[in-house]
Chain A
Amino acid sequence: MKITINGWESFGLRCPDVKVNLLKNSTPSRVALIQMPNGTGKTTTLKLIRASLTGAAQNWSRDEITELKSLKNPNVQTGKFILELSVDEKPLVIETIIDFVEAKVRYRTSSILLGGVEDGWRPPPNIKRFLEEKFVSLFIFDGEFAADLLDSTKTKATEAIETLSQLDLFDEVVSEADFFWEKQKRDASGTSKPYLNSLKEREAALTRRLAELKKSRETAQNDVASFSKRLAEVDAQLDEKIGQNETIRSEKDRLSKAKSDADAELSTALEKYMQDLRYPHKLYDGFVRHLNTFKVSLDQAKLPDTSSRQFFIELCEEINCVCGRPIGPNEQNHIREHAEHYLSGDISGVLNAIKNDINIYANQNFDEPLSDSRLKLSDAQAKFHDASTGFSNYMLKIKDFQDKGYEELLKEKAQIELEIRSRDNFLSFMSAPYKSSDDEKSSSVVSIETQLRDMQDRIAEVTDTVELRERINLLSKIATNAKLIAKKSLHKQLIDECNERLSKVLVNSPLQIEDIDNHIKLKGQAGGSVGQTLAVAYVFLTAALHRGSHQFPLVVDSPAGSLEQLVRKEVGKVIPELCEQFISFIIDTEKIGFVPALESASNDSISYSTIFRLNQTSEKLIKNVPNENIQMNGDSVLVTGKEFFVQFTLDKEE
C-alpha cells in the first residue's frame, strides 16, 4: 500500500486561498517544503489535511466549524478544501465542503474505484484502516506527539507500534469472539456447567420414572389380558346356560344389540358435538363480525403487502420512490438495509393465511347450528341410558330362571369387569397427552417420554453452549498470547533498526533505545533534549511506518524548530532515506542547516513553496518574481521556487 499527497486547494477558509501542487513531472517530490509564516493558517491547513484523510469533520461542532471561517471575508457562506492523493498510483480526491450557515460539513470523494464522484467520505475499503485517526496522527506529525513517544506516563510508543503493525487486530479478534458469545448466550437460556449437571440429574430421574411406569403398564396390560380371557370363558358359560332357553337367549341378544347400537350412536353424537365446539364462530356469532372487521382493517392497511420485506426489495429496483423522489445507489443501500426491519416472508405468509381462513370459515353457512348437535347428544345419552338399564335389568331378572351356578358366574363377571375397568382407567392415565404443568412425577408414559425428549434436546443445546464458551475462551487466549509474541518480536526488530539509524543521525551525541515498554526508554538516561526527542521520534516513526510493504507520507509541522544546528543537518540528511514523501510546514528560522541537508540528500527531488498574506511589507517581496511562479487569490500569495523560498524573511524586510 502506497499513499502519497499530490496537493491541495483551499477556498473561503482561515488558511490562504491557494492551490498547492506537490507533483513534479507527475510524481510527488520526495521532499516538499511549504514555508508559511506564523499566523498564515498553517494549523488550519494541517487540520484540514487530517480531516480529509480521516473523515472526522462530519462530527465537528459549530464552534470548530466557525473557527475555520476566513477572517478576511467573514460573509463567506461556504468553504472548501480539496485534498489530492494517490493510492497505489491511482488518484483519490477528497473534498471537504464546509457550510458556515448551517454549521455542517459534508464530503465528496472521487476515485477510479468509485467510477467517478460520490457524495460522502468514501475512500477505498483497503485503505480505510490506515485512515483511522490514531493512524493518521502517526504520519501527520507534530512536536507534541514526539514528546509523548518518550513520556513514561504515556503509551503513545506502544500504541504507534500496535497501530502500524496491526497488533490491534488481535484485540479485534477477542472483541469479535466476545460479541459472538454474547449473541449466542442471549439465544440460549442456560450456559454453565452446574446448570448442565442439574439438567442431567433431571434426565436421570425422568429415565427412572419412565422405566417404573413401563413396568407398571406391562403388569396392567398382562392383568387385562388374563382378566379378559377369564371374562370370555365366563361369558361362554353364561351363554351356554342361557342358550338352553331359546326365548331368553333371543331376548338377551336383542337387548345386547340395542345397547351396542345406542353406544355407537352416542359416540357419533359426541364426536360431532366436540367437533362443532372447535369452531368459535359457531359458539358466538359476534366472532364472525369481529373477524371480518379485522380482515377489512388488514385490507385497508394493505397488509401484509406494503409492510413486507419483499415490497422494499422490489422498490429498490424502481427508478422513483412511491413518494416521487428518485432512488439512487445511496437510497437503494439504505432501503435494502432497513428492509430487514419489516415483515419476513414467513410472517407475511401467516397474515395471508389468516385472511384466507377468515374468508373460508367465518363466512360459510352452517348446515347445522351448535344447538342442534347439543340436542342430538342429549337424545343419544338418554337412549344409551335406557338400553343399558334395560339390558342390566333383564340379566338380573333371568337369574331366577337359572341354576345356582348362573348367579355365581354373574357375580364373577361383574367382578372381572370391575377389575378390567380399573386397569383400563390406569392404562388410560398412562396414555394421557403431555400437559405443560406435568413434572417427573406424572403417571403418563406419554408425558414422561415427552419430558425426557425435551430434556435431552435441552442438554444437547446446553452442552453445545458450554463447549462454545470453552472454544471462545481458547480463541481469546490464543489471540492474546499471539499478540504478546508478535509485540515482543516487533519491539526487538524496531529497537535494532532505530538504534542503527540513531547512530547515523546523532553522531556527536549518541543515543540508543533500550526498550519500548509503553514509551520509548532511552539507554542510560531518563529523557533527551527537545532536539534529541524529535530525532528519536523521526527515527522511530519512519522505521515503524516503513514496516511491511506500506509507504505513507510524513507530514511534519515545524520539523527543525527545536533541533540544534548539528542535529538539524544529521536529521535533514537522513529524512529522505527514511520515507518516500516528506512534506514539511516550515518557518523562516528553521531553514538554516536543515534545508541544505535535506536538499543534498533528496537527489534533486525537492520542491519549495512559500505561502503568505499580501500586505504592505510582503508586497515589495514579489516585485521581481516571474509571473509563472506566482499564484495570487485576493490577499493570498503562493510563490514556488528555491530562490524566493531561501530569501523569504518577513522580519528582515520589516
Chain B
Amino acid sequence: MIDSEIKNAIRIACGQDGQDDDFANKLIKWVEALSSKSMNASQNSDHLNVVIKSINLGKDKQ
C-alpha cells in the first residue's frame, strides 16, 4: 500500500500534463507494485511497458 498523498500527487501531476485517468491508474498500479518489492525483473518490465504505452504524447490533439 502506498500513502494516499502519493496517489493524489500522481493524479494531479498526470492531470497537469494532460494525461487521462487511465494512465494515472496504471502508473499508480506500477508504483504500488514497486513499493511492495515483490516483483521480479520480468513483471517489472511488463508493468513499465503498460505504463509507457499508455502515455499520451499529445499528437492526437494537434
Residue positions of A touching B, CB distance < 8 A = 125-126, 128-129, 165-167, 169-170, 172-173, 176-177, 180, 467-468, 470-472, 474-475, 477-479, 481-483, 485-486, 489-490, 493, 547-549
Contact = CB atoms under 8 A, between A and B. Distances in A.
A485 B9 contact: yes
23 contacts: A126-B37, A129-B35, A129-B37, A165-B5, A169-B31, A169-B35, A173-B34, A176-B44, A177-B52, A471-B52, A471-B57, A472-B52, A475-B27, A475-B52, A475-B55, A477-B17, A478-B14, A478-B17, A481-B13, A486-B5, A489-B5, A490-B3, A490-B5
A483 B9 contact: yes
Interface residues of B, number: 30
Contacts of B27: 173, 475, 478
Interface string B1-39: 111011011101110110100000001001100111110
B19 A125 contact: no
Nearest to B30: A173
Among A128, A169, A483: residue with most chain B CB under 10 A: A169
B12 A485 contact: yes
B36 to A, nearest CB: 6
Contact of A486 (B8, B34, B48): B8
Nearest to B18: A474
Contacts of A481: 13, 16-17
Given A125-B36, A170-B6, A471-B55, 8 more contacts: A125-B37, A166-B2, A166-B3, A166-B6, A173-B34, A475-B51, A482-B9, A482-B10
Contacts of B2: 166, 169
A474 B9 contact: no
A493 B8 CA distance: 14
A473 to B, nearest CB: 10
B43 interface: no
B36 A126 contact: yes
B17 A176 contact: no
| A interface, over-half SS | helix
Contacts of A472: 52
B38 A180 contact: no
A489 B8 contact: yes
Given A478-B14, A478-B17, A481-B17, A172 B34 contact: yes
A176 B50 CA distance: 14
A478 B13 contact: yes
Nearest to B11: A482
Contacts of A129: 35, 37
A547 B52 contact: no
A548 B1 contact: yes
Contacts of A125: 36-38
Contact of B48 (A128, A177, A482): A177
A222 to B, nearest CB: 46
Given A125-B38, A129-B35, A482 B52 contact: no
A586 B55 CA distance: 55
B57 to A, nearest CB: 6
B11 to A, nearest CB: 9
A470 B48 CA distance: 15
A165 B38 CA distance: 19
Given A166-B2, A489-B9, A467 B36 contact: no
A176 B48 contact: yes
Contacts of A547: 3
A481 B11 CA distance: 11
Among B8, B19, B48: residue with most chain A CB under 10 A: B48
Given A176-B34, A486-B6, A474 B48 contact: no
Nearest to B54: A471
B57 A467 contact: yes
B5 A474 contact: no
A474 B55 contact: yes
A486 B11 CA distance: 11
B3 A548 contact: yes
Contact of B6 (A169, A177, A471, A477): A169
Nearest to A127: B37
Nearest to A183: B45
Contacts of A176: 34, 44, 48
Contacts of A467: 57
Contacts of A493: 5
Contacts of A170: 6, 31
Nearest to B38: A125
B1 A549 contact: yes
Nearest to B52: A471
B31 to A, nearest CB: 5
B16 to A, nearest CB: 7
B36 A482 contact: no
Contacts of B9: 482-483, 485-486, 489
A475 B10 CA distance: 11
A481 B57 CA distance: 17
A173 B12 CA distance: 17
A470 B12 CA distance: 20
Contacts of A478: 10, 13-14, 17, 19, 27
Considering the complex of A and B, which 4 residue pairs feature the smallest CB-CB distances, nearest first? A486-B9, A482-B13, A485-B9, A481-B13
Contacts of A470: 57
A549 B34 CA distance: 18
B8 A126 contact: no
A607 B36 CA distance: 34
Contacts of B6: 165-167, 169-170, 482, 486
A257 B17 CA distance: 82
Nearest to A128: B37
Nearest to A474: B55
Contacts of B3: 165-166, 486, 490, 547-548
Nearest to B6: A486
A126 B38 contact: yes
A478 B16 CA distance: 9
B57 A166 contact: no
